[in-house]
Structure 1
């Protein structure tokens, strides 16, 4: 590891163009301060509802009803803790996770972690491309290859809004998240799920472990919940707030940023849970246990529920999910490259490189093999993310548990042990998921 003196003498701001760009009102009350800190949590939360999670939630609900709702709840609780560690690292040290890895690891190790982070971001972008292309196909009848190519244009949209301030980006993501919430509120209303069954589903059951099919899907939900790029992203974007950089200011910033993050991930839990509940109410309860595909779910919703808008809102939410994830993926790519390498590419070039890496496999598969293989590629992107996760989680827990790095904000003994337990569970499940997927 590098020395602390070296770190202090070679200091670079994370996302310098927006660093400390959002004012925090001095002497303001609780709610006004919370409003000033709100925003980064939503950008992180969209990573938990990206198109890569949809197929697993749909299959879990159609095959096993409400039983796996408890797994989504546990996944979100794990995510809340890890995102808390991420934001705490950024606020306490003034370094994002990528910068911290560069500061405290040797160059070969840092370079290796950068490569893995870039692979994770490319896999995330691949899921966004495929999800958006499927949504465009369902809503407007665009062939999948055309939909894949069409996603290139969101590069221009992202760049336009990035130049207009960080609050604009947060507002757009908040609007897209609101649209997704409204869509699934409608889906919940028309599907009329059983309240008692949902409440029962929140309680973990032993059959989740004893039933091999249920265990496989549960691992898919739990193991791929935390996205590696979100840990890099969150540690950076919390630094957009202009809070006092003394201990008191950092303590207050950590408190409000944690509230923002926890509430936002609560919304992500509602959306992921709604996808599973919708599948349980619409498919499992009507004997359609075989629905495991986004496209199949879209075509079956209207006739099963007896309404004319359920499918449209479902696809609209999918499109909003893909587009909101695109915004955060762009920022994560910039943070990772600048933090690990201190190379600053022009935003349009960085975005085109990332999107090009995602578009090529999606385009080839959609042209040569069609819809079924495209869905399988979506699942494969989640396997890649599972493989990368350990290499972001382990440094994060190590850094935030180190008093030399964190000072007074280092993890308490109880939080340190809890963080390691959760990290080992996630890593173990990801390893097992990868093993049985590749068999």
Structure 2
């Protein structure tokens, strides 16, 4: 028929994903360069769509700095919340932490650590800026191209005029004019702005999918190493983590259709929204705790700002999860009762996790910590190893310096914390 069926496309994507993932045998830096290539492809392809659609630049700037939506109702609010919530992915926190940890830094030199932190800040800022620009491209294209349009009518006219090959149109026959997924969006762009927009959109979506798949896979590998202490070979970890995602996807592509894939994607977004607190709250706790970070802990203004932003993002994600679940759950009171019980349990645990994190951070900032640099700590550690023990103290303890042992201030802080 001249086109690749959905299940075959899934198999091809799986094959090239495995190929790209094995690039890590040449080192993580090479893999990061490949990520950069995928992001560059997304920037150029979605930027092309932005240039073709030509949304009002004044309205785009106004929407960035003063978000508003005139004559918008509940459906538009749900879409806006979904856009914000889908950007923040919990696994990226683990991935970025692991990549930072893989850098070769002299961690005994405080100056080198500060220099590395500066470069990490620049790197993260550039990555977030590029991500913001790409998301602006996509949101602006959909806002200017789709909002207020009858998608079904546009695609029907397109089919009648022969602007798009018929096998692309067939999968969109039964769509709801209010439901626009990634596939329908590409068809719509091709109908309104030329078939070149359809193929360029497909290339951008392919690059985005590969980038997302690879980041998710590597996050799973680092989580297995860190939390489960599983030291498998790389190809074994890749095969295991990818198989978990491959099997459900293949099942849906073989026995279902594009609409079901879209539903599965919505479910995964909800799942990640639910998981987000378990990544953000411990991260803020560790980076703000002086017992863990010493002088490199977050400052108090940074603690306040990061917590306010985190609460906003978490609330937005939970609202998105509620909206999606409410839209898909039938009006059957036992189901609502079960969801209510799970929701109360979940919220209670998140509040407990937050309270525990605040308690740890507050206790660590009240504790008196040693004002030693990292170099001093390393030197003292070496001295303890090379200095022979001397006479025992009156309580039987032996100190490396010849005097009685004294409780370390870190131990005092830990005792106070407990």
TM-score class, shorter-chain normalisation, is 0.5 to 0.7
Using a 3 Å threshold, how does the CA distance of structure 1 residues 370 and 308 change in structure 2: closer, same or farther?
closer
Q: Aligned with 1:290: secondary structure?
A: coil
1:3-402 to structure 2, matched below 5 A, reads: 141-205=3-67, 207=69, 211-245=73-107, 246-284=109-147, 288=151, 290=178, 292-305=180-193, 307-402=194-289
Q: Which structure has the larger Rg? A: 2
What's the secondary structure of 1:244's corresponding residue? coil
Residues 253-281 of structure 1, C-alpha deviations (whole Å, 9 max, x = no match): 11111111111111111111111111123
Cα shift at 1:155: 4.9
8 Å contact kept, 2:53–2:141: yes
Matched, 1:414 2:301: yes
Contact 2:186–2:198, Cα closer than 8 Å, also in 1: yes
Q: CA RMSD in A?
A: 2.2
Taking a change above 3 Å as real, the CA distance of residues 233 and 356 of structure 1, as seen in their structure-2 partners, is: same
Greater Cα shift, 186-195 or 377-386:
186-195
Which sections of structure 1, spanning at least 5 residues, go unmatched? Answer: 1-136
Deviations 1:98-126 (A, max 9, x none): xxxxxxxxxxxxxxxxxxxxxxxxxxxxx
Q: TM-score, normalised by structure 1?
A: 0.64
* 1:410 Cα deviation from its structure 2 partner: 0.8
Q: Deviations over 1:402-426 (max 9, x none)?
A: 1010000111111111122122222
SS in 1 for 2:65: coil
Please say which of residues 388-397 and 145-154 is displaced more in the overlay.
Answer: 145-154
- The structure showing larger relative contact order (alpha-carbon pairs under 8 Å, at least 6 residues apart) is 1
- Give the Cα separation in 1 of the matches to 2:139 and 2:179: 12
Match of 1:430 in 2: 317
Change (3 A) 1:286 1:224: closer
Per-residue CA distance 1:365-393 (angstroms, 9 max, x = gap) = 22222111111111111111001110011
Structure 2 residues not aligned, in runs of 5+:
152-176, 327-418
| Offset of residue 211 of structure 1 | 3.3
Q: Measure the CA separation in 1 of the matches of 2:46 and 2:18.
A: 29
Q: CA deviation at 1:311?
A: 0.7
Q: Secondary structure at the match of 1:367?
A: helix
